[in-house]
Chain A
Amino acid sequence: MLKNAFLTLLSLAIAIGGGGGSVWYALKAQDGVGAIRIGQWTAFPEIGTQAADPYSKARVAREGVLALGRAEGLSFIAERDAGGDQLRRECAYMIEGGFPTARFWTLYAADQSLGVVDTDRPRLAALQSYQVLRQPDNSVIITVGNRPAPGNWLLTEGFGRMYFVLTFYDTPIASSTGLSDVTLPRIVKAGCNA
């Protein structure tokens, strides 16, 4: 009798704990259903639309996101460098390569909540395409770190995990099937201040 009660409780515990926990985990992971991966960059083109999958819908409701519309732009998030390591605020990185067609783009370093990294200085941890210097072949090299660097410098500060958020505004890649042959810049670790 007692054994039956125990077994019932065990199966209920597995059901509720496992079910709730797996939803929580699925919503926390940056990856997931509906994601498009290009190199280290991940985008959710469907997020915030009626056509989105249930996971995206739950994430939108839980985090109070108002996602960019198709005519506005498309955001890509990177959480790892080209070597597969997690991005960290105490490390220096190089972001290099070509950027797809858009009216302009913005790039910023974000913390866990995807808000911009707090630098404690007037300079924002963000860059945009009108202010960057370009190579002769129109590609861009950006140095990320807490030490000033020549060329394009994205300031970051502090310790802990970091994300890069790259958003293209008024871009053809947000609509249509243009996403298939898009290449995005590479993120290479330059060194860490341990």
Chain B
Amino acid sequence: MRKLLHTVLLGLLGAGIVHIVVLMLVPEFSERDAWSRLAMASDLYKMTRLDAEAGGAPVVKSVDPLFYAAACRFDLAEGMVRIKAPGNVPFWSVSVYDRSGHNLYSFNDHSATGGVLDTVVLTPAQMIDVRRELPEELQGAIFVEAPIEEGIFVIRSFVPDDSWKPVVSQFLEQSSCELQDY
């Protein structure tokens, strides 16, 4: 009887260890995370719609039904990336995520000059280079320093009612995500 109790206690202790190990390994080995899902849907530096409106199942789940969203993947090791979107919509917000889907930085249209989305994501080292001599065309851009290489950029935009659908769709379709030469 004491042996059985000993076994059960040992098992429970082992369960605790397995619990912690599995928990730590889930993010490392997940093939269902946002990066993997986006990688299946499109290439680097390509804006992809996340909502179901563009046809097909939504790429990334739990997007607000009253929102349209688009995302692109980038690799800062290749150079800094510039994201632009023309047009006027009721509300937009953007987020920069790292490879494993952690939100590093976010801002919305109130933070941008004139509500226009024009932003550059770059590493601190690239920022030092850019600061030395700021190119003319980057004067109005918002600079986001991110200490990462691979990352995801997401634009979300509010669709208050059906009449806004074409406008917001166009806003996202025309958004660009490009490697910026410097």
Chain A contact residues, CB within 8 Å of chain B: 3, 7-8, 10-20, 22-23, 26-27, 48-50, 52, 54-55, 57-58, 60-73, 103-104, 106, 108, 113-116, 124-126, 128, 130-131, 165, 167, 169-170
Contacts and interface: CB of A to CB of B under 8 A. Distances in A.
Contacts of B7: 7-8, 10-11, 14
- Interface of chain B, helix or strand or loop or mixed? mixed
A187 B102 CA distance: 32
Nearest to B29: A61
Interface centre among B4, B60, B93, B103 (most CB of A within 10 A): B103
User: Which of A17, A72, A103, A113 has the largest number of chain B CB atoms within 10 A?
Assistant: A72
Interface residues of B, number: 58
Interface string B126-155: 000000000000000000000000001010
The winner among B6, B10, B18 for most chain A CB atoms within 10 A is: B18
Contacts of B27: 57-58, 60-61
Nearest to B16: A19
Contacts of A115: 58, 61-62
A169 B93 CA distance: 9
22 contacts: A12-B11, A15-B15, A18-B18, A19-B16, A19-B18, A19-B22, A20-B19, A48-B103, A60-B100, A62-B33, A64-B32, A64-B101, A65-B62, A68-B95, A69-B95, A69-B105, A69-B106, A108-B64, A115-B58, A116-B65, A126-B64, A128-B160
B156 interface: yes
